[in-house]
Amino acid sequence: MPVLPTPLRATPDGPTARYGSGPAGAGPLATAWGAAASADSLAGLLESAAVRVDVPPAGPRAWPSADDARIADLRRQAATERGTTWPQPLVSHYARYFRDGNRTAYEGLVAARQQRLTRAVVMALAAVSDDPAGTDAEAWLDEVIDGAFLLCEQSSWSWAAHDDVHSRTGNVVPEPAVPYLDLGAGEVAAQLAWIDHVLGPQLDGRAPGLRRRIRDEVRDRAIRPFLERLDWHWLGLDGDVHNWNPWIHSNLLAAALFLVEEPRLQAHAVARCIEGLDRFLASIPGDGAIDEGFAYWWNGAGRALEGLRLLEQATAGALDGGLPVVRALAAFPYRMHLGGTWFLNVADGPARAADALPWDMLRRWAVRLGDTAAAAHAASLASGRPDAAAGLGRVLHSLLDEPDAGARPAAAPLPAFSYLPSVQIMVAREHGGAPLGLTLAAKGGHNGEHHNHRDVGSVVVAMDGIPLLVDAGQPTYTAQTFGPDRYLIRAMQSSWHNVPAPYGLEQGTGASFAATVLQEPTAGEPALALGLGAAYGLDHPEQWIRTALLNRDAAAAVIDDRWTLPSPPPGATDDVDITYLAAGTVRLGQDATATVLPEGIPAVPGGRGVRLRWKPATAVVLVDEWQLDDPLLSGVWGHHLTRLRFRMPAETRAAGAFTLTVEATP
């Protein structure tokens, strides 16, 4: 192994209203834990760490039985898979990313392999719990052994889209001697670590030598690159901290705790993980907002919470994770809730929550913090049936969650008003505590956010919890998604978001293309007024002012645009448009009206829609149908989305106003 590293210093980032308020730029963990988080202290604190983790090893009656209803879905699929050929990612799949930009050919097979292994682990735990010496336990253990060994044999744990092999060498074949430590590698390392933790003695009994191989591979592909190199972009040493940081660090924590046997090396690896997590937590604004949105919360903030819980248990509570930043983070998901499984989506996020989210993890944190709203929200969405797509560590924790069988189902809090000033996001609903009626969400922010879409000034309007004026969200990732042509993708463009297009301009990219808050909303007056001129490169923010208001007395959402524009810049048009993107079925009416109904949105049986009214009535309405052939988009919205472009009359192009009023359909 390399010479043990010296500690890294956290890099201050962003405005002062963040949690990195300790001495010398220290984040909340360094401030709260001090010397206890040093490698020297950890060497003692981590003695017998694995036995303190609340995930028990396999044993009689230690895990749910094979006939437990919670694992019925896992059991059915695992039984179908056992004895069949394992998914086999090939070099031709890997090379496709570099050839034609396709990511899913390789990543889909990798995910299928790891999900099958997760299901096999659950079935092995259930079989050992029922009958440790039975033939069923042996058969499931063999399935686990085969899957774990295939991961050890896999040439690269990195996803092709992240590997630097092509940029370094021009090759499209991974180099085992130069492993790239990315999200995929962290996931494999953690999966193998959890397997070793829960099934270690059983693996020794069925396949002596496998655990040694697992340790060697994790050391060489994950622990060693982590400690040897400081140029990983996800460390956040340059001040740019994003969701890769906690996702990888939390996985490396599991790998270090369960697979690194040398105490001093383990302590240094854990200390380095703490320093990394501290940089992430120091970047969190005081209101707990995540600029990547609700969907990425789970693989950013959620991963940080999982890492903190693991550290608490491993150190017998010496490293207490119940910090103010954690309380702020735990509240973010329910503040973005529209109703049911629908959430306000910004950046690269779908509007519908994924099936595999570990709501039990969030519920446990919320209960511990005494946040009854966050706890009720998480409990209302927990299915009680773990999904292998969540990853082995999350599945294991879900299986240990014991809900109160006699308790009434929790109701989501659905607050009447939320405002997060750090990202300039307002969510206001007509009736607090219920999804009924209108919900208006409005966003300012800037176009240098993580996973950014050009959406400064955008609004979303939902009726009875179902979004009808929408943000399209995340299409399937390809090489283009994070390349120089990102904004050639329709879903990322401002012209396909609910924003203006003065003189046909697209919004610019970067933090300077931003909104200026002219009026902050309050619970009593939920109106967010923004100056949007800078988002289009205009001279002054106030050259375009947008006010988004929820008028509860009138049961209406009102989006009011007012502008005073300079002459069109070179390359612009003479047109001034305001765009709204609608889901479901759109019907234009008479007298400057239209209706939007939820017909055609998947898994929405029907219900009320919204009526749109606008002034001036002389605005020309241009209708564009977006036929959705991307499965991620069509899975949320159905076959199409409809863009309504309101083109302003000639006499109002230089200076004018346009008001859209949204009400429930009669």
The confidence score (pLDDT) of residue 408 equals 66
CB 578 within 8 A of CB 561: yes
Instruction: Collect all residues with Cβ–Cβ distance below 8 Å to 107 and sequence separation of at least 6.
Output: 159, 160, 161, 184
* Interacting residues of 17 by C-beta distance below 8 A, sequence separation 6+: 285, 286, 422
**pLDDT at residue 8 in the model:** 42
Token output for 502? 């003065």
- The DSSP string of 103-131 is -HHHHHHHHHHHHHHHHHHHHHHHHHHH-
Which residues are 647's β-sheet partners? 577, 620
Note whether 137 and 66 are within 8 A (CB): no
Q: How many CB atoms lie within 10 A of CB 337?
A: 26
Torsion of CA 108, 109, 114, 115, to 10 degrees: 60
Edge-to-edge strand list for the sheet holding 655-664: 516-519, 527-531, 544-551, 556-564, 655-664, 610-615, 593-597, 585-588
Sign of CA dihedral 345, 349, 352, 356: negative
For 623, the 3-state DSSP assignment is strand
The pLDDT value given to residue 25: 59
CA distance 597 to 591: 19
Torsion-angle region of 645 (φ positive above 0: left; ψ -120 to 50: alpha; else: beta): beta
Q: Which residues contact 484 (CB under 8 A, 6 or more apart)?
A: none
Q: CA separation (Å) from 183 to 31, 149, 277, 304, 505?
A: 28, 20, 15, 14, 36
What distance in Å separates the CA atoms of residue 128 and residue 130, rounded to the nearest whole number?
Answer: 5
Tell me the CB-side half-sphere exposure of residue 128, using CA atoms within 13 A.
24
Per-residue three-class SS string for 216-250: HHHHHHHHHHHHHCCCCHHHCCCCCCCCHHHHHHH
Write b or e for each residue in 619-641: b if 16 or more Cβ atoms lie within 10 A of its Cβ, otherwise e: beeeeeebebeeebbbebbbebb
Helices (H) and strands (E) in the chain, counts: 20, 21
Distance CA 445, CA 427 (A): 14
Please check whether residue 276 is in contact with residue 11, taking contact to mean a CB–CB distance below 8 angstroms.
no
- Residue located via tokens 């929408």: 470
Show the tokens assigned to 122: 């659950």
Do residues 65 and 129 lie in contact, with contact meaning Cβ atoms separated by under 8 Å?
yes
Q: Dihedral (C-alpha) 65, 67, 69, 74: value to the nearest 10 degrees?
A: 90
Sign of CA dihedral 31, 33, 34, 38: negative
For residue 154, give Cα distances in angstroms to 167, 176, 190, 618. Answer: 21, 9, 15, 63
Residue 375 burial class via C-beta count within 10 angstroms: exposed 0-12, middle 13-18, buried 19 and up: buried
- Cα–Cα separations (whole angstroms), residue 51 to 56, 290, 368: 8, 34, 22
Distance CA 615, CA 570 (A): 29
Collect the ranges in the chain with pLDDT lower than 50: 1-16, 21-24
Write the secondary structure of 20-38 as one string of H (helix), E (strand) and C (coil): CCCHHHCCHHHHHHHHHHC
For the chain, report the end-to-end CA distance as a whole number of angstroms.
71
pTM reported for the whole predicted model: 0.94
Strand duo 593-597 + 527-531: pairing? unpaired
| Separation between Cα atoms, residue 558 and residue 660, nearest integer Å | 6
Instruction: Judge whether 390 and 122 are in contact, CB under 8 Å.
Output: no
